[in-house]
Amino acid sequence: MHLLEAKNVHGGYGGMNILNGVDLAINADEIGVIVGPNGAGKSTLLKAIFGLLRVTEGSIELRGEPITNADPGELVLKKMAFVPQEKNIFPSLTVQENLEMGAYSRRDNYQHILEQVYHFFPPLADKRAQPAGELSGGQRQMVAMGRALMIEPSLILLDEPTAGLSPLYMADIFERIVTINAAGVGVLMVEQHAKQALKIAHKGFVLVAGQNRFTDTGMNLINNPEVAKAFLGG
Amino acid sequence: MNELVFFINNVLISGAVIGSIYALGAVGITLIFSILRFAHFAHADLMTLGAFFAFFLTALFPAIGPALGLPTAFVMLPLAMGLTALTAVYLDKAFYKPLRAQGVKPIVLVMASLGVTLMLQGLIRMFMGTSSRSLYIDDRKGIHRIDVPFELANRPIVITDPQILLILFLVVAVIALHLFLTRSKLGKAMRAMSDNPDLARVSGINTQKVVTVTWIIAGSLAAAAGTLLSLDVSLKPDLSFMLLLPIFAAAIVGGVGHPYGALAGGFVIGFAETLSVFNWAVLLRPFRDQLWFELPANLAFVPTEYKITVPFFILLAILVWRPTGLFKGKVL
Ligand SMILES: Nc1ncnc2c1ncn2[C@@H]1O[C@H](COP(=O)(O)OP(=O)(O)OP(=O)(O)O)[C@@H](O)[C@H]1O
Ligand SMILES: [Mg+2]
C-alpha cells in the first residue's frame, strides 16, 4: 500500500481548473519530487493534497484511507505536515513560538522533539527567543521545516524548500531532507532545482499544465534525454 | 495651588479615566481586526450592552454591593462580562460566521456589523427606554476628597470609587492579557493567527476556538468599560454613539493589530480630549498681571460641547501623516 496516492486529481481556484488529472504515488520510506515549469500547478497540487483547495474530481488516499478534501487540522492529526512555498513562518512570533505552534495539536509533552529540532537545525537554537521575521531566508526555511517536524510527521509536503537559497545552503537543505527521510518520514516536495532534487528522489513527477508529463524514478528522469532537454536545462 | 488641583482633577484624573475606557474598547477592536480582519462597528454597542446587563443584575440583586462594601454593579461585573462575551460569541455565530464561510470581502462584514449596531441599539432602547439611569440603585457613589498638604490649596483632589475601580481593573486586565498572549498556548495561537491565518490552519491550530476566545476577550473588556463608565457617570442608551469614534481613533492611533498600541492610543485620545476642553485661563489666572493680553474667562482649545471633534481630528491627522499608527500596524 502506498503512503500517499493521488488519482486523477482535478481542482483549481474559483471556476478555473489548474489541475487536470494528476496521478502520483509514493511509498512510506520514499522521497517524491515534483518538478515542472512555473505555473504548472505544482503548488496547487500540494495545496489540494493538504485540503486547502477543493478537489473537484479524483481521489487522494493516505495509507489507503481516503483524505480527499479533508480538513487540514484533521490531516495534521494523521501526522501529515505541510510547508508552503511562501509565508511559511509566523514572523512576529519567536523561533521557539513558531515551533510550538507546529506542535499545537499535540496533547503530550513535546520538549524532547523541540530539542531534536534545535539539534537538527543548530542555527535556530541560538535564535530561539528572536522573532522569526528577523531571520535570514535560509534560517526562515529551517523554522518552517522545524515547525512541520514538531508533529513527528509520517509524511511531509515541502513546497520549494530551497527557494532563494545559495547553492551551499541548498545542498545543506537537501542533505537534511535525506536525513529526515532516512528517519522514516515520507517526503513529497516541489523543487525548482530539478536536477539536484531528482538526484535524491525515489520517485519523480514532471508536471506540465496540471497533468503528469513524465512519471518515473528520479534517476530515470535525469537520464531521460527528453526530460533533460526540456526540464533540466540540457 | 487651587489651580493645580483643578488641573489634576480635570485633566489628569479625567484623562486617565476616559483614556482607560477608550483603551478597553480599542483593545477589543484591535483584537477582532487581527483575527477576523474587519472593523467591528458594533463594538461600542457591546459596551452599552455590558452596562445594560450590569444595570439589570444590579436591579435584581441591589443588596449585594452594600454587604460587600463595593458598588453592586461592580460586584455584578464578572457576570455582566460573561453575558456580554456570550452575546458576542452568538452574534458572531449568527451574523459574521455565515458571511466568513461564504468568503466575503471584509467590507461586507463591516456592513453587517453596522446592521448589528442598529439592531443592538434598537433592542437596548426597547428594554430600557431612552432615559439615562444611574447604576447605583440601593447604594451611593463613594467620593474621595484628598486634601492637598499645601497652605494655599483649600480645594481637594476628587476621585470616585468607580474611577479607582476602573484604573485597578485596567491594570489587572492588561497584565492578564499580556500573560495570556505571551504565555498560554491559546494566546500564542491567537498571535500566530493574527500573523498568518493560513499557516495557522496548516499547523493544525483550532482557528474556530481562537475566534471564539477573541470574542470572549473583546466582549468582556467592552462590558467592563461600559459598566465602569456608566457607574461613574450614568447609563444612557446613546452611550455607544459617544464611544464609537474615540475607540476607533484609539485603535488606529495605536496601530491596528497592536493590543499595546490600542492601550496607548486610548490614553492619547483620552488626554487629548481633556487637555483640549480644559479651561487654561484657570492656570494662567495667577499670572494675569504679567500677561500682555486680557485673560478671558474661558480659554479652552475646544468648547466642551464639541469634545467629540477631538478624536475625529486626531484620527484624520494620523491617517494623513502616519496611517500605520504610532506603533507599526496594519493599514485599515
Ligand atoms: N490563489 C490563487 N488564485 C487564483 N489563481 C491562482 C492562485 N494561485 C495560483 N493560481 C494560478 O494557478 C496556476 C498554477 O499556480 P501554482 O502556484 O500551482 O504554480 P507552480 O507550479 O507552483 O509555479 P511556481 O513554480 O512558480 O511556484 C497559475 O496559473 C496561477 O496563476
Ligand atoms: Mg509553486
Contacts of B287 (CB under 8 A, 6+ apart): none
Tell me if residue A100 falls in helix, strand or coil: helix
CA of A92 vs chain B CAs: smallest distance (Å): 7
Average pLDDT over residues B144-173: 88
To probe the interface with B, which of A86, A104, A140 has the most B CB atoms within 10 Å?
A104
- Report the atom number in ligand 1 closest to the C-alpha of A41: 18
Q: Tell whether B71 is covered by a domain.
A: yes
Which of these ranges, A1-10, A116-125, B60-69, has the smallest mean pLDDT?
Answer: B60-69
B37-87 pLDDT, tens digit per residue, is 999 999 999 999 999 999 999 999 998 888 898 999 999 999 999 999 999
Domain of residue B264 covers 2-321
For residue B192, give the chain A residue with the closest CA.
A90
Query: Hey, is the C-beta of A146 within 8 angstroms of any chain B C-beta?
Result: no
Residue B332 pLDDT greater than 50, yes or no: no
- Between A and B, how many CB-CB pairs are < 8 A? 62
Query: Phi/psi at B298 (nearest 5 deg)?
Result: -125, 120
Q: Tell whether B326 is covered by a domain.
A: no
CA of A99 vs chain B CAs: smallest distance (Å): 10
Q: Tell whether B332 is covered by a domain.
A: no
Q: Which domains does chain A have, with CATH numbers?
A: 4-231 (3.40.50.300)
Contact A105 B204 (CB under 8 A): yes
User: What pairs with residue A203 in β-bridges?
Assistant: A32, A217
Q: In the predicted model, what is the mean pLDDT of chain B?
A: 91
Residue B219 pLDDT greater than 70, yes or no: yes
Average pLDDT over residues A140-145: 95
The answer to whether the CB of B45 falls within 8 A of the CB of B241 is no
Q: What is the DSSP letter of B248?
A: H
Residue B330 pLDDT greater than 80, yes or no: no
Query: Hey, is the C-beta of B195 within 8 angstroms of any chain A C-beta?
Result: yes
State how far the Cα of A96 lies from the Cα of A165, in Å rounded to an integer: 22
Q: What's the pLDDT at A226?
A: 86
Ligand 1 centre from A39 Cα, in Å?
5
Query: Hey, is the C-beta of B206 within 8 angstroms of any chain A C-beta?
Result: yes
When computed from its CA atoms, the radius of gyration of chain A, rounded to whole angstroms, is: 17
Residues near ligand 1 (Cβ within 6 A)? A 13, 18, 36, 38-44, 85
Query: Hey, is the C-beta of A92 within 8 angstroms of any chain B C-beta?
Result: yes
Q: What's the pLDDT at A164?
A: 83
Q: List the CATH number of the domain containing B174.
A: 1.10.3470
Q: Tell whether B236 is covered by a domain.
A: yes
Q: What's the pLDDT at B289?
A: 81
Question: Please, which pLDDT band fits residue A234 given cuts at 50, 70 and 90?
Answer: low
Give me the sheet containing A211-217, strands edge to edge. Answer: A80-83, A155-159, A186-190, A31-35, A203-208, A211-217
Task: For residue A147, list chain B residues with Cβ-Cβ distance below 8 A.
Answer: 203
Average pLDDT over residues A201-211: 93
State how far the Cα of A184 lies from the Cα of A182, in Å rounded to an integer: 5
For residue A91, give the chain B residue with the closest CA.
B195
Query: What's the grid cell of residue A59?
Result: 481521489
Q: Is the dihedral of CA A142, A145, A148, A150 positive or negative?
A: negative
Average pLDDT over residues A106-126: 95
Which of A134, B38, B289 lies closest to A124 in space, CA to CA? Answer: A134
Contacts of B140 (CB under 8 A, 6+ apart): none
Which of B268, B224, B234, B231 lies closest to B249 in space, CA to CA? Answer: B268
Q: In the predicted model, what is the mean pLDDT of chain A?
A: 93
Which of these ranges, A95-109, A164-178, B28-42, B293-307, has the smallest mean pLDDT?
Answer: B293-307
Average pLDDT over residues B85-90: 98
Average pLDDT over residues A59-88: 96
State how far the Cα of B108 lies from the Cα of B106, in Å rounded to an integer: 5
State how far the Cα of B59 lies from the Cα of B72, in Å rounded to an integer: 9
Query: Hey, is the C-beta of A104 within 8 angstroms of any chain B C-beta?
Result: yes
Q: Tell whether B327 is covered by a domain.
A: no
Contact A72 B201 (CB under 8 A): yes
Contact B206 A88 (CB under 8 A): no
Query: Hey, is the C-beta of B189 within 8 angstroms of any chain A C-beta?
Result: yes
Q: What's the pLDDT at A14?
A: 82
Residue B278 pLDDT greater than 90, yes or no: no
- Percentage of chain A modeled with pLDDT above 70: 100
To probe the interface with B, which of A46, A90, A107, A108 has the most B CB atoms within 10 Å?
A90
Residue B1 pLDDT greater than 80, yes or no: no
Contact A84 B198 (CB under 8 A): yes
Provide the number of structural domains found in chain B. 1
Alpha helices in A83-152 (DSSP H): 95-102, 111-120, 122-126, 137-149
Q: Tell whether B328 is covered by a domain.
A: no
Ligand 2 centre from A12 Cα, in Å?
14
Contacts of A187 (CB under 8 A, 6+ apart): A30, A31, A32, A155, A156, A158, A177, A180, A181
Which burial class, exposed, middle or buried, applies to A72 when counting CB atoms under 10 A from its CB (0-12, 13-18, 19+)?
A: buried
Q: Kindly report the number of other CB atoms within 10 A of residue A156's CB atom.
A: 24
- Report the atom number in ligand 1 closest to the C-alpha of A85: 27
DSSP letter string, B6-61: HHIIIIIIHHHHHHHHHHHHHHHHHHHHHHH-S--TTHHHHHHHHHHHHHHHHHHS
Query: What's the grid cell of residue A103?
Result: 506542535
Average pLDDT over residues A14-20: 88
- Nearest residue (by CA) to ligand 1, atom 9, is A44
Which of these ranges, A101-105, B294-298, B309-313, has the smallest mean pLDDT?
Answer: B294-298
Q: Tell whether B329 is covered by a domain.
A: no
Q: Tell whether B331 is covered by a domain.
A: no
